[in-house]
Chains A and B, each alone.
Chain A
Amino acid sequence: MGRGLPPSFLSAFVGLALAVLCLLTGTAKAQTDGSAYLQELVQRANAAALYDQRYWHLLLHYRRTIGGGYESEADEAGFFLAPKGKTDPKAELQATLARFFSTELVGRSRQPARCAFIARYHWLKAALAIDESRLPPEPCERFHAWLRELNPASITLVFPSAYMNNPSSMFGHLLLRIDQRGQTEQTRILAYTVNYSADVTTNNGIVFAVLGVAGGFKGYFSTHPYYVKAKEYGDFENRDIWEYRLNLTEDQVERLLMHTWEMGNASFDYFFFKENCAYQILSLLDVADPDLHLTDRFWLYTFPSDGVRMIAEKPGLVKEIIFRPSRSTKIRRGRQALSGDEKMWLGKIIADPSLAQSEPFTIMPPQRQALVLDVASDYLLYRAATEGNDATSYQERNKAVLIARSKLKVLSVPDALTPVTGPPEQGHNVMRAGLGLGWHEREFFNELNFRLAFHDLFDPEYGYTPDAQIEAMDVALRHYARSDHTRLERFTLVNIVSLSPMDALFKSPSWKVSTGLETIEHNQCRFCRIGNLNTGIGAAAESFWLKREVYFGFAELASEYGRVFNSNYRLGGGATLGTLVDITERWKFGVSGTYLQFPLGEKSHEWRVSAQQRYALHKNFAVRFEFNQRARTQEYLLNLHAYF
Chain B
Amino acid sequence: MNVFAAANYDSLSQEMAQGGGEHLASLAELMGIRDENRAEFYALAQVQYASLVQSGDRTPAAMLKVLHSGMETHPTFARLSSN
Binding site for B on A (CB under 8 A): 184-190, 225, 227-228, 231, 235, 370, 374, 377-378, 381, 384-385, 398-399, 402-403, 405-406, 409, 411-412
Contact = CB atoms under 8 A, between A and B. Distances in A.
Given A381-B14, A399-B53, A187 B25 contact: yes
B52 to A, nearest CB: 9
A187 B29 contact: yes
Interface of B: 4, 7-8, 10-11, 13-14, 16-23, 25-26, 29-30, 43, 46-47, 49-50, 53
B50 A406 contact: yes
A409 B7 contact: no
Given A377-B14, A412-B20, A406 B26 contact: no
Contacts of B13: 399, 402
Contacts of A403: 17, 49-50, 53
A378 B10 CA distance: 10
B64 to A, nearest CB: 16
B25 A227 contact: no
B17 A402 contact: yes
8 contacts: A189-B22, A189-B23, A227-B23, A227-B26, A374-B18, A378-B14, A406-B46, A406-B47
A84 B6 CA distance: 46
A227 B4 contact: yes
B25 to A, nearest CB: 4
A220 B41 CA distance: 40
Contacts of B21: 186, 412
Contact of B22 (A186, A374, A409): A186
Contacts of B47: 406
Nearest to B18: A412
A187 B17 CA distance: 19
A360 to B, nearest CB: 22
A405 B47 CA distance: 11
Contact of B49 (A188, A402, A412): A402
A226 B18 CA distance: 22
Given A406-B19, A409-B46, 10 more contacts: A186-B25, A187-B29, A189-B22, A225-B7, A227-B26, A231-B7, A377-B17, A403-B50, A412-B18, A412-B21
Contacts of B49: 402-403, 406
A228 B47 CA distance: 27
Contact of B17 (A184, A185, A405, A411): A405
B24 to A, nearest CB: 8
Contacts of B10: 235, 381, 384-385
B26 A190 contact: yes
Contacts of A190: 4, 26, 29-30
Nearest to B21: A412
Contacts of A402: 13-14, 16-17, 49, 53
A31 B7 CA distance: 51
What 8 A-B pairs come out closest when comparing CB atoms? A402-B17, A186-B25, A406-B49, A406-B17, A186-B22, A405-B17, A412-B18, A187-B29
Contact of B16 (A186, A231, A370, A406): A406
A301 to B, nearest CB: 34
B7 A405 contact: no
A53 B4 CA distance: 44
Contacts of A385: 10
Nearest to A405: B17
Contact of A227 (B8, B14, B50): B8
B27 to A, nearest CB: 10
A377 B49 CA distance: 14
Contacts of A384: 10
Given A227-B8, A399-B53, A187 B19 contact: no
A411 B26 contact: no
